Amino acid sequence: MKALGFGAVLWDEIDGRLNIGGAVFNLIAHLKSLGAECHFITAVGNDKPGDIAFDIMRSKKIHTDFVKRVDIPTCIVSVEVDENGAPSYSIDDFTSWDTTRVHRADVARINKIGFNYFCFGTIEQRNPVSRSSLRKILQKCTFGHVFFDMNLRLDYYDRETLEYSMQQCTILKMNEYETGIVKKLFGYREPGYRELTRKLRHDFNIDTLCITGGAEGAYISSDEGFDFCPGYSVPIADTVGAGDAFSAALLYKHYEDISPKNACDFACRLGAFVASRRGAVPEYSIADIDRTLSQ
């Protein structure tokens, strides 16, 4: 399995401690932990946080051939975690990943490698430079599947961004809050998730659509039907990165061509495990996941 991510690499400051993060980066790091070959497209600053981020990517064996270094500070995000483990974010309006550029040689190399999955989100589209780079990739490169994690942050999105992104993806993931925003922006009135996911998949030609509900579980819709997978109960450390782990697990099992319901269940398992650990990308093995969830 070969996966390419386009997104932010940043530092989450949680309780005074810095943890490397960024939704798509977390997804790619989890895919690497699960055994995929992973590459990442981003820009990090020519500063100490950028140096460390670059070294961490290499230490995790994430290919850095598409990572650019720029004279813009690497982002540090202030994360507040409430009593339920839910995070809120404070993000600078302009940072290194806003300047992510893709050149002709990058496009040629992407097509030469032949990626099974391309993964992107929303916040990386807030700046015209990074948005243009993303659209160049989607226009000029070919992938087995395109995964869009809506992952809405603050006010860094609009209807046009969401419409374009949903038109480009074959696999879509969003949470219940984001689902409400989509219904409002696009005027959907379907009464339940079964009807809504069927309508969205039809309107945007999406193969697989997943709506996550945190600890409660997730809904998944595909040509094989509509299912709900209940969540797993664990003691919560923090939920930062849990949704990204869910995404990685979903794609990993999608590549193995198991049923969407079983893929969604495995995604719920990994998401719960990550929520039981500090940081977005803890070290783990499948045995660690099974042991934690059986306690």
Q: Is residue 109 domain-resident?
A: yes
CATH of the domain at 215: 3.40.1190.20
Tokens 């509900």 locate to 213
Q: Is residue 293 domain-resident?
A: no
Q: What is the predicted pLDDT for the residue at 88?
A: 74
Q: Is residue 282 domain-resident?
A: yes
Q: What is the pLDDT of residues 98-148, one digit of tens each?
A: 999 999 999 999 999 999 999 999 999 999 999 999 999 999 999 999 999
Mean pLDDT over all residues of the chain?
92
Tokens 């386009």 locate to 6
Q: What is the pLDDT of residues 264-285, one digit of tens each?
A: 999 999 999 998 888 778 888 7
Q: What is the predicted pLDDT for the residue at 144?
A: 98
Q: Is residue 294 domain-resident?
A: no
Q: What is the pLDDT of residues 19-48, one digit of tens each?
A: 888 999 999 999 999 999 999 999 999 999
Q: What is the predicted pLDDT for the residue at 12?
A: 80
1-5, 53-57, 267-271, range with greatest mean pLDDT: 1-5
Domains contained in the chain, number: 1
State residue 152 phi and psi, 5-degree precision: -70, 135
The pLDDT-based confidence of 87 (bands split at 50, 70, 90) is low
Q: Which residue range forms the structural domain that includes residue 83?
A: 2-288
Q: Is residue 279 domain-resident?
A: yes
Model's pTM, two decimal places? 0.93
User: Does the CA dihedral 229-211-80-130 come out positive or negative?
Assistant: positive
More confident residue, 80 or 62: 62
Short-list 42, 89, 87, 91, CA closest to 62: 42
CA distance 201 to 75: 35
Q: What is the predicted pLDDT for the residue at 155?
A: 87
Is pLDDT at 295 greater than 60 in this prediction? no
Find the helix or strand (DSSP H, E) in which 120 lies.
strand 117-120
CA distance 249 to 30: 8
Q: Is residue 295 domain-resident?
A: no
Short-list 92, 95, 236, 214, CA closest to 153: 92
Is pLDDT at 253 greater than 60 in this prediction? yes
